[in-house]
Chain A
């Protein structure tokens, strides 16, 4: 294979890496007051990446770098959405970071490195690249959580995240080594073929699968591997919490798809049983614990656990529609959590974090428009029509009922009902309680516009979900069926 055939599919990643290195150097020449130049460079990089991803799109599935890298429609769509998500994260958090002295080149460079890690994961076709992409993402995240050095709670969160993340990586690697021992390959497609043709040592394969699923669950943050999620969400600066809670969910979806569906498809009977337990326990524990929270970041952390459990339902269904519905759910969840964390940052001021539920009391009196946007976001998270959250949950439930897991759908609906309580409580606080403070809310024109688009988008996508849904369905279909 010649050089260009390898480089062209990965052109977006190469451009991103070159730009990160350039920004890393260029940032050193800038004074503290002109960091806005770095910010603009980062946004331009994201724009450039998306243009390159569109420009280098090839129909079908293209492999490069000795089958280590795969370029298919699913990876291109997920990458485009991850650029969009990262851009939104930076727009939302600019003012918040400036007020806290965190608006530095390092923050933005680490965010781009995390994006690179996600893209590597999304396009991986080999256990080695999957793992390295995951490490690149995680390492940037650990550092970003700890970036606020004078905050004891952030340092503690970073420490917990780091230690448990290292443990999860160990589990994953151990599982990968066992699968390698059983099948003699680490390439996803080849491993699937090897298992289909019969593996000599079945127990090694089973043990490897258990370790892989445990490692995956740690990274997804589903019960019983969820311990780090609330502490990290609570302890990290809100901008970093937003980053952890939004875009990486796309990469996590791709990670699950690549490993379980592409690499270990013949073992679907084994892993879907494990995922059912993980999904039910996450939906139960996440929803019930979220009710007891007074800190809204912690509440969203438990809500993430629930949503990740929900996302697994589509993977359990084992059908192409279920995978498409899961992808749709991941995209919608990213947009919802971006909006919700964006709102927390909009209400924060210098020296004040709007991270308790009480800070949302009487928001309608202080700013009716923001309260309305938050209401749309909360309704969407709870899955109430006509917002898009309803459609996302509906298509997932539909896919698992079609594959005969009706009882699982009933359990999921029951837990969603419990979950609706704490989302609706936020709306009640905003509309029916008296505000605790009357401090003016200063909203920049860019963040104000973005939160409006974000909130109304929930409504718009809920009324017309067809386009996004078919993009997800087609991309999953074209990417996974060709193997």
Chain B
């Protein structure tokens, strides 16, 4: 077993365990953190495949942005776990039956044929730049889907603004310009009255 294999199996084992952790963890925050671990070890495997740009993007985008946002949401939602788990044991036999059936079907279909065709990864020279190759493909062969992906992002922006930018009724907000325009007369009323004798 070479050093490459050792590193691969190490990362693969961590990924699988973290994946199990995502599903099995009782606390949703822990589950999210397990997912971060799974992403990090996946990035390691991609590094082994000489896809360093994708590995770094995975860390930056998924771990750095998406998962942090996800954690915030999980913490803010304040999920009631007891309520979510309600009825778990009641439906367990039914779910287990379906799951067992699906496993049986898959084994039946897959088990009848030999499916072991493993190809080894292509090894590139030391001056090979994965980032450059990706960029070249993205702007030549894949320029059409790349542009459509950009349009999808634009739609997401338009949709997010259209859905959130609205004036709700009955919400207390400050109107700065109205506040600045206020004069003494608007706020203060001087009432002329006779002085009254002190009571008892």
Q: Could you tell me the distance between the alpha carbons of A110 and B158 in the complex, rounded to whole angstroms?
A: 8
Chain A residue contacts of B109, Cβ below 8 A = 203, 206-207
In the complex formed, the residue of A with least CB distance to B141 is A66
State whether the Cβ of A341 lies closer than 8 Å to any Cβ in chain B. Answer: no
Q: Is B140 part of the binding interface, using a Cβ–Cβ cutoff of 8 Å?
A: yes
One of B113, B145, B151, B161 near A68 (C-beta < 8 A): B145
Q: How far is the CA of A149 from the CA of B166 in the complex (A)?
A: 9
Residues of B within 8 A of A140 (CB): 155, 159
Check B162 against A106 for contact (C-beta < 8 Å).
Answer: yes
**Assembly CA distance A134 to B142 (angstroms):** 17
Interface size class of B (residues with CB under 8 A): 20 to 34
The reply to whether B148 and A147 form a contact with Cβ atoms under 8 Å apart is no
B117 surroundings in chain A (CB, below 8 A): 200-201
Find chain B residues with CB under 8 A from A136 CB.
148, 151-152, 155
Q: Does A32 interact with chain B (Cβ within 8 Å)? A: no
Give chain A nearest CB distance to B40 CB in angstroms: 22
Tell me which of B143, B148, B154, B161 contacts A120 (CB under 8 A).
B148
CA distance A135 to B186 in the complex (A): 55
Which parts of B58-97 form the interface with A (CB within 8 Å)? none
Give chain B residues whose Cβ lies under 8 Å from the Cβ of A120. Answer: 148
When the two chains form their complex, are residues A132 and B163 in contact, meaning their CB atoms are under 8 A apart?
no
Instruction: Take A126-B145, A132-B145 as given contacts and tell me if A113 and B113 are in contact as well, using a CB distance cutoff of 8 Å.
Output: no
Within 8 A of B (CB), among A56-97: 64-66, 68-69
Q: Are A110 and B155 in contact (CB-based, < 8 A)?
A: yes
Tell me if B126 counts as interface (CB < 8 A to partner A): no
User: When the two chains form their complex, are residues B149 and A132 in contact, meaning their CB atoms are under 8 A apart?
Assistant: yes
* CB closest chain-A residue, reference B113: A203
Contact A110 B162 (CB under 8 A): yes
Contact of A203 among B110, B140, B151, B152 (CB under 8 A): B110
Assembled-state Cα–Cα distance A142/B163 (Å) = 11
- Judged by DSSP, the binding face of A is helix
Within 8 A of A (CB), among B125-171: 140-145, 148-149, 151-152, 154-156, 158-159, 161-163, 166
Contact pick for B151, options A17, A128, A202, A207, CB 8 Å? A17
Residues of chain A lying within 8 A (CB to CB) of residue B163: 143, 146-147, 149
**Interface size bracket, A side:** 35 or more
Give the residue name and chain of the B residue nearest to A204 (CB).
Answer: B115
In the bound complex, CA of A97 to CA of B143 (Å): 37
From A129, which residue of chain B is reached at the shortest CB distance? B145
**Is A164 an interface residue when CB atoms closer than 8 A count as contact?**
no
Residues of chain B within 8 A (CB-CB) of A113 are 151, 154-155, 158
Query: B152 contacts which chain A residues (CB < 8 A)?
Result: 132, 135-136, 139
Residues of A within 8 Å of B144, CB to CB, are: 10, 64-66, 68-69, 129
Interface centre among B109, B144, B158, B166 (most CB of A within 10 A): B144
Asked if B145 contacts A139 (CB within 8 A), the reply is no
Q: How far is the CA of A204 from the CA of B117 in the complex (A)?
A: 12
Q: Can you name the residue of chain A whose Cβ is closest to the Cβ of B156?
A: A139
Q: How far is the CB of B20 from chain A (nearest CB, A)?
A: 20
> Min CB distance, B109 to chain A, in Å?
6
Docked pose: A204 CA to B156 CA in angstroms: 34
Contact indicator B145/A128 (Cβ below 8 Å): yes
Mask: chain A, 105-127; 1 = CB below 8 Å from B; 0 = not: 01001100100100010000010
- Minimum CB distance partner of B109 in chain A: A203
Docked CA distance A97–B113 (Å): 58
> A107 — nearest CB in chain B belongs to which residue?
B162
A24 in contact with B158 (CB, 8 Å): yes
Jot down 24 A-B pairs with beta carbons below 8 A, ordered by A: A10-B144, A64-B144, A65-B143, A66-B141, A66-B142, A66-B144, A106-B158, A110-B158, A113-B155, A113-B158, A116-B151, A129-B148, A132-B149, A132-B152, A135-B152, A139-B156, A139-B159, A140-B159, A143-B162, A146-B163, A149-B163, A202-B113, A204-B115, A206-B109
Binding site for A on B (CB under 8 A): 109-110, 113, 115, 117, 140-145, 148-149, 151-152, 154-156, 158-159, 161-163, 166
For the complex of A and B, the 5 pairs showing the least CB-CB separation, nearest first, are A143-B159, A106-B162, A65-B144, A132-B148, A68-B144
Q: A65-B144, A126-B145, A143-B159 are in contact. List 4 more A-B contacts (CB 8 A).
A: A106-B162, A120-B148, A147-B162, A203-B110
